[in-house]
Structure 1
């Protein structure tokens, strides 16, 4: 009886200590909450509020104009096409690159990861300038390939050129995101599958890829978001002459043709909704796969 009474008496004190530790931990989150509110939530609320504001007051006229305009629809189509193609190509290359990194010596692996980390930050104007020097109209590789009779119809300043430059800066990011996921694979699984008569492609189809599926889907979403929100590389390469949704938003804010920040806000809201739909679809697929696995 004495032991049980001591345990009961000690439980409130233990719960109080736990609440105190949780309270101290929550205090350290206040600076993060302030920064998140000022630089994420507040701008988002401002954009949403201004997207429904026109000279006639609060209406949905901006959204109606966007959805009825072939020009803005083309901007979304071009952005989606470039983002989907570059993300898919970069993801495939990153999968092979991350899988290969697990087979190379430690020193070479660290070197490749360091180079990938460095090149993932080489975007914007420097990257566009590098591609112009290499594969532009009078680029060194372009002149070399033309002398060999190759790549006669390639145009860096077209949608194919943008897909190429987007894929380039997506590959290092994909490798950095997927490389830790391959630690979930055990080499003994492949050996056991081989002993049971499974081919290498059967192992990857039935074991490897299902285990990596959450990381692959998540990486694709991040690559897609990174591509569809990119602006500096495309603008520096085409001088704003290629119709992309980010270029249109920047033009409406800076007033290149005419100043209309409310229309830019409406385009930004639609872009956020597009990313939200893709993210929700990815989460639904992951949950469905998890239920089937159980």
Structure 2
């Protein structure tokens, strides 16, 4: 028995090595670099002081938080109805829809931005089609703007939200609906008084995941707008790779603050979830 346990322990050593190489070492290196001067000239808080004093970086955090909140909220509202609609189909059709949702949730980054440019760009397929039909309002849609970014963010957020909310609806037991119906409750009353309160903690958790997913998105926004739109992830990439000149220490400090923002959001969500569950009990 001890020999088997020893072999199992040895077999998971490569897993821990991979975690250390690709998670902990880069994380500690980033934190260490954030407290270095330009060029690694010694310990300093100057990088953080510059971020807190520079309105340009304040705007980057504001834009990232706003676009993450708005896209996550839109995706959540749509996913709540979409996931419920999926449960009304047969099991075979549900499985096919979930496979499609899984595929589309992974369609992000540069390919997603390129697809939207082909369809809705200045010379995109639908843009030219709307212009030919005289639909000036639709043809004048600017993909390379705040609205375009929201559209792309919602596109890759929605399938993820559907996949996360679908099991929640499966947890709402049919027996509860039957019992509520026997007591004279309508379908709307069941969802308002039983279904929604039971689902609320899971909905809050899903929203937190969507927010973190949007805050960390980089490739789609960069491929669509380049460095012209001020988002935290774009600023980190620009400082690391050096659009003009590289400042990886300042980029590391921005990345650390971005991580802290996500941690704070997760703690707020956890507090709200516990509060909701305690109120339900």
Would you call these one fold, judging by a TM-score over 0.5?
A: yes
Shift of 1:20: 8.5
Provide the C-alpha distance between the structure 2 equivalents of 1:194 and 1:51, rounded to a whole number of angstroms: 59
Matches within 5 A, 1:118-137: 118-137=103-122
* Partner-residue secondary structure (3-state), 1:203: helix
| 8 Å Cα contact 1:184/1:211 also seen in 2 | no
Deviation (angstroms), 1:257: 1.6
Q: CA deviation at 1:260?
A: 0.3
Aligned residue pairs total 277
Q: Which residue of 2 aligns with 1:90?
A: 75
Determine the C-alpha separation between the residues in 2 that align with 1:240 and 1:90: 25
- Structure 1 residue 118, shift from structure 2 partner: 0.8
1:266 to 242, 250, 253: 253
2:145 equivalent to 1:158: yes
- 1:90 Cα shift? 0.8
CA distance in 1, matches of 2:26, 2:74: 33
Q: What is the aligned counterpart of 1:34 among 17, 21, 33? A: 17
How far apart are 1:89 and its partner, in Å?
Answer: 0.8
Where structure 2 has 5 or more consecutive residues not aligned to the other structure, the ranges are none
Shift of the alpha carbon at 1:28?
Answer: 4.8
Give the distance between the partners of 2:208 and 2:141, measured in 1 at CA: 29
Higher alpha-carbon deviation: 111-120 or 133-142: 133-142
Q: State the alpha-carbon separation in 2 of the partners of residues 26 and 277 from structure 1.
A: 35
Match of 2:95 among 103, 110, 119: 110
2-structure distance, mates of 1:134, 1:152: 11
What secondary structure, in the 3-state scheme, does the structure 2 residue paired with 1:57 have?
Answer: coil
Question: 1:193 Cα deviation (Å)?
Answer: 2.1
Measure, in 2, the Cα distance between the counterparts of 1:174 and 1:24.
Answer: 40
Offset at residue 27 of structure 1 (A) = 5.1
Contact 2:128 2:139 in 1 (8 A): no
CA distance in 1, matches of 2:116, 2:186: 41
What is the CA–CA distance in structure 2 between the aligned matches of 1:148 and 1:158, rounded to whole Å?
Answer: 20
**Mapped partners of 2:13, 2:167: distance in 1:** 31
Alpha-carbon distance in 2 for matches of 1:26, 1:154: 57
TM-score normalised by length of structure 1: 0.87
Partner of 1:101: 86
Q: Aligned partners of 1:190, 1:99: CA distance in 2, in Å?
A: 14
Measured on the aligned residues, the alpha-carbon RMSD in Å equals 2.0
2:44 pairs with 1:44: no
In structure 2, the CA distance between the partners of 1:197 and 1:142, relative to structure 1 (3 Å rule), is farther
Asked if the contact 2:197/2:280 (under 8 Å) is kept, the reply is no
Pick aligned residue for 2:234 from 247, 254, 266:
247
The answer to whether 1:196 aligns with 2:179 is no
For residues 69-104 of structure 1, the C-alpha deviation after alignment (integer angstroms, 9 at most, x for no partner) is 111111111111111111111111111111111110
Equivalent residue for 2:172, pick from 185, 206, 217: 185
Separation (CA, whole Å) in 2 of partners of 1:214 and 1:21 = 41
Residue 287 of structure 1: how far off its partner (Å): 1.9
Q: Does 1:66 align with 2:51?
A: yes
Structure 2 match to 1:5 = none
Aligned-partner Cα distance in 2 for 1:140–1:272:
39
